[in-house]
Amino acid sequence: MDIHVNGQPRDVSEGTTVTGLLEALQLTARKVAVEVNLEILDKQDFDGRLLNEGDRVEIMSFIGGGTVS
């Protein structure tokens, strides 16, 4: 099924969870925030949260910044 991750289309299999997506992207759950369709998830919900066709997922983390850089 097709979802969007950080603005890019991505094909994932049915039954993929947020944790599964992070693992596929080789990202550490500890260091990121995840938003699905504008809803910010608690980290403890990553394991149980199934992704659905058309979901818009944003995976955010910290980068260098003072003010606007």
Partner 1 sequence: MGGDILTIAGRTFHSRLWVGTGKYKDFLETQKAIEASGAEVVTVAVRRVNITDRHSENLLDYLDPKTYTILPNTAGCYTVDDAVRYARLARAAGVSDLVKLEVIGDERTLFPDTAGLIEAAKILVKEGFVVLPYTNDDPIVAQKLVDIGCPAVMPLAAPIGSGLGIRNPYNLKIILDTVNVPIIVDAGVGTASDAALAMEYGADAVLMNTAIAGAQHPLVMAEAMKYAVEAGRLAFQAGRIPRKLHASASSPIEGML
What is the Cα 59 distance to its own chain's centre? 4
Give min distance, CB of 15 to partner 1, in A.
20
Task: Find the helix or strand (DSSP H, E) in which 21 lies.
Answer: helix 18-24
Q: Does residue 5 bind partner 1 (CB under 8 A)?
A: yes
- By C-beta, is 40 or 50 nearer to partner 1? 40
Q: Does residue 44 bind partner 1 (CB under 8 A)?
A: no
Tokens of 40: 């910010």
Tokens of 38: 């504008």
Give min distance, CB of 51 to partner 1, in A.
15
Pick the stretch among 11-19, 24-32, 48-56 that binds partner 1 (CB under 8 A): 24-32
The 10 Å Cβ neighbour count of residue 46 is 17
